[in-house]
Structure 1
Amino acid sequence: MANRRKFLQQLTATAGAFSAGSLFNKLYAKDFESAARQVEGFSAQQLAGDEDYWTVIQQAYTVNPNIINLNNGGVSPSPRVVQEAVERYNKLSNEGPSYFMWRILDQGREPLRNKLAELAGCDPEEIAINRNATEALNTIIYGLNLKPGDEVIGTKQDYPNMMNAWKQRGMRDGIVYNQLSFDFPIENDETIVTAYEKAITPKTKIIHVTHIINWVGQIMPVKKIAQMAHAHGIEVICDSAHAFGLLDFKIPDLECDYFGTSLHKFLSAPIGSGMLWIKKDKIEKIWPLLCNDKPHSTDIRKFETLGTRSFPIEQGIGEALNFHNAIGAKRKEERIRYLKNYWAERVKDVPGVKLHTSLKAEHSCAICGVSINNMEAADLDAELFNKYKIHVVPIKYENINCVRVTPHVYTTLQDLDTMVKAITTIAAEKNK
């Protein structure tokens, strides 16, 4: 009886993130519902500055109080409920890996696919679950049937792994990779769209666009670029690593053909989780990055033949979706934009300080680049951490020399006040 009881408890533990017994429902649902009732009728923008409401959200994270983490653009911490879900599924897996992983947890992928598709606003049969944006986008880049001389347009401000993937296809297959270069911030969409259009030749087959430029947070006009590209018979790949789970949008609204993202950034899913989207009528022609017995299948699952994977991480995504949905996509976007503007507005006119990001809502959200005259980015990064325990990331690349600052929903105004004080003090010292 004791063994039977334990077995039933284990099966209950696998009921999944989308059941009544989910960890989120047990730990946070009541608190979130209570907080939401208090602000009923508030618009997302009105709620963005309501500290009482966001305190409830902040308490769900376990971030280290000894540092101020403002590098959420690299990877975001997961809230406690996601961490506990991963630990729970990991312990269960190790009680009998081949049984609990393949026969129990593996059954949770289809409900997860459906929930991701619901957030993405697309058909579940267009969603593949993988490990990060690099894997998703490399699947597309190496899966496309391109021939020598075919041209691809990207930019020098795209993510390095994507640039290197295209360069490698050039070396291996003779693809011509043309890169634009932009001086951000740019507050005119047509300037960006026109630059891509002018680069088109009769041999152009693909435009690769980054939804949010990871270096400085510029939001690119993906839909306008896609519409222009399609008018020329060109397909569009969207790298949305920093936008999914941050901006309130649906993938089909972008009108791109291919899309990849990481879920461990603003969705706060377990570290090492990602998602691939391919427009349904294009799945058949894309070769899987990893082998599949039916590489020309129309089944999106051909891109999930990873072999043994981390089922605990995969299933932990479900609790991250619960957490995200309980806040609301638009509320989350407006709060994080509010936090970015909170510190950036206070330093933008400080002598010696330069922002590398627009503060207009349509052109930026979470990420903002900042630099100080007479100071290298690496030196500013070091001083922020050594004197103020503020963790950011220095960027010296192409035409960019700044530190990238990225708050998240758990970031407090007190932390951002420290950031403002630090930037103001350092600027005064360096520009006497």
Structure 2
Amino acid sequence: MDYKTRRTFLKRLGQGAIGSFALPVFGNSLTNHWKAEGLFEGDYTSEAYWELVKSQFNMADGLRYFNNASLGASSTSIRQATLGFRDLLDGFPSKYMWGGWQKEKEKVRESIANLFSVDAEEIALIHNTTEGMNLIARSFDLQPGDEIILADHEHPSGSIPWEVWQETKGIRLVRPELPVLPKSVSELTEVYKKAISPKTKIISMCHMVNTNGMLLPVQEISKIAHEKGILVAVDGAQSAGMFKIDLHELGCDFYSASSHKWLFSPKGVGVFYAKKESQHHLKPLMVARGHTDESIRRLENYNTRNLPEVLGLGASVDFHNTIGAEVIHRRSYELKTYFRSKIEGNDHFTIKSPALDDLSSAIQVVEVNGKDVKDIKEKLWENYGIDCRPMTSHGLNALRLSFAIYITKKDIDYLVNALQELATA
């Protein structure tokens, strides 16, 4: 990429979204415009391209951030767009809080629907994954003896709602154990098939578990479940934005995700999908004027809410589309493969994420053999400026490493070198 092209890339990626989104009328993706100029055809295959993407994330000096699975960063353009909306709101509060941004809000819904290949009438704009899982768990009038399947790797935000809203009524929670390192998709589907009984009403499952980045076979489980009249709810916190997802193809009834991780949106914004045929099961967590609305909007009717953050989600999708969902998908797997190639076969390390691409992606978990993970985590931060997450459940004693699109191969080289030094110290 020559100097002139690089300057154009930085200018548009850094300022383009604010031009599109910080005005009352927005939503035009930059993708088609950029392609028309022929700027980036094939550039994503070079590390120079990803260095430019990285430059759009204004991280703290000296920080090497491998903790996107905990919380993502917003790019400069997304931050600018959100601040622009905030300025508009504070300039005329009542106009923009109640009605002034109705069309813009619907454009955000449409952009999310397009991203996940579903209908806009199947998308609600909520706060986070936890809210969506609570919404699902509280909606059902199940009877004592009914069963809900929740595997043992579920995030607390995916299991506690069922414990509070259903288990206390006498509903049985079935907690099958998943293998930490499955060698095939069928190995996981068998776990769920064995857990199903005539009393099973709902299967609630992660798309990607937060413990070791294992991908669960939602499509296969949904097919099995629906043949038996069982509903499927999915916690998509760790998958939304990491790779391409077609929710109709996935087949689940409900899908809840926090967009502030792999979609890099403002914090406190989330996405909720409910298949049209399954929406009648759901009841809103909060009710206000307009609660009789029969559309999916009844699930997001909070009256006053932080609309600049919601509209900032639109800027996040635009940023995602500008790079390209397929390109991001490939990059996620490219970084996974690159990292594993650097440490596989090294006796100092044990990778504790499944190897197959059908079973893991841009979250990889590694143990430094013979070392306490909390100690290694602290030394990575203190000595190298590397932030990551220690995982101790399920016997992992391992570091959870997130390879978001602002991570380059040079960053991975730096990480592996640091791990090697600590492993041999």
- 2:249 alignment partner, SS class: helix
CA 1:310–1:189: 2 relative to 1, 3 Å: same
| Residue deviations 1:332-363 (CA, integer Å, cap 9, x gap) | 01112212222232112222311111232221
Q: Does the Cα contact within 8 Å between 1:285 and 1:296 map onto a contact in 2?
A: no
Aligned pairs for 1:18-167 (under 5 A) are 18-19=27-28, 30=34, 34-39=38-43, 47=44, 49-167=45-163
Are residues 156 and 326 of structure 1, via their aligned partners in 2, closer, same or farther at CA, if it must alter by over 3 Å?
same
In the alignment, which residue of structure 2 is the partner of 1:253?
A: 249
**Contact 1:284–1:297, Cα closer than 8 Å, also in 2:** no
Structure 1 partner of 2:213: 217
- The question of whether the paired residues in 2 share the 8 Å contact of 1:121 and 1:251 is answered with yes
- Count the aligned residue pairs: 407
The answer on whether the counterparts of 1:17 and 1:322 sit within 8 Å (CA) in structure 2 is no
1:6 corresponding residue in structure 2: none
User: How far apart in 1 are the matches of 2:220 and 2:257?
Assistant: 20
Q: Is the 8 A contact 1:347 1:423 kept in 2?
A: no
What residue is the counterpart of 2:198 in the other structure?
Answer: 202
Distance 1:32 1:425, change over 3 A: farther
Cα distance per residue 1:397-430 (max 9 Å; x no partner): 133321100021111222211111111122222x
Of 290-299 and 69-78, more deviation after overlay is shown by 290-299
Residue 309 of structure 2: aligned partner: 313
Residue deviations 1:250-299 (CA, integer Å, cap 9, x gap): 10001111111111111111111111111112212311111256767541
Partner of 1:371: 367
Unaligned runs of 5+ in 1: 1-9, 40-46
1:412 has 2:408 as partner: yes
| Distance apart, 1:38 and its partner CA | 5.0
- Percentage of pairs with the same residue: 28
For 1:360 and 1:184, the matched residues in 2 are separated by 13
Q: TM-score, normalised by structure 1?
A: 0.89
Check conservation: 1:153, 1:206, Cα contact below 8 A.
yes
Deviates more, 1:351-360 or 1:66-75: 351-360
Tell me if structure 2 keeps the 8 A contact 1:287–1:295.
no
Counterpart-to-counterpart distance in 1, 2:25 and 2:415: 40
Please report the RMSD computed on the Cα atoms of aligned residues, expressed in angstroms. Answer: 2.3
- Rate the CA distance shift 1:336–1:35 in 2: closer, same or farther, 3 A: farther
Does the CA-based 8 Å contact 1:145-1:285 persist in structure 2? no
Distance 1:75 1:13 in 2: 24
32 and 336 in structure 1: CA distance in 2 versus 1, 3 angstrom threshold: farther
Partners of 2:377 and 2:387 within 8 A in 1: yes
1:208–1:236 CA contact under 8 A, matched in 2: yes
Corresponding residue SS for 1:318 = helix
Tell me how far apart the structure 2 counterparts of residues 334 and 126 of structure 1 sit (CA, whole Å): 27
Residue identity opposite 1:36 in structure 2 = F
Report the secondary structure of 2:281's partner residue.
coil
The one-letter code of the counterpart of 1:88 is G
Equivalent position amino acid for 1:94 in 2: D
Instruction: Between 179-188 and 115-124, report the one with greater CA deviation.
Output: 179-188
The DSSP-based 3-state class of the residue aligned with 1:276 is strand
Distance 2:133 2:79 in 1: 27
Inter-partner Cα distance in structure 2 for 1:418 and 1:178: 43
Residue 283 of structure 1, aligned match among 279, 284, 295: 279
Q: How far is 1:377 from its partner?
A: 1.8
Q: Is the 8 A contact 2:242 2:328 kept in 1?
A: yes
In structure 2, C-alpha distance between the alignment counterparts of 1:163 and 1:88, rounded to whole Å: 37
Q: Is the 8 A contact 1:392 1:405 kept in 2?
A: yes
Superposed, which structure 2 residues align to 1:311-350 within 5 Å?
311-350=307-346
Distance in 2 (CA, whole Å) between partners of 1:367 and 1:205 is 31
Pick from 22, 26, 32: which aligns with 1:17? 26
Contact 1:183 1:399 in 2 (8 A): no
1:168 aligns with 164
Match of 1:228 among 218, 224, 230: 224
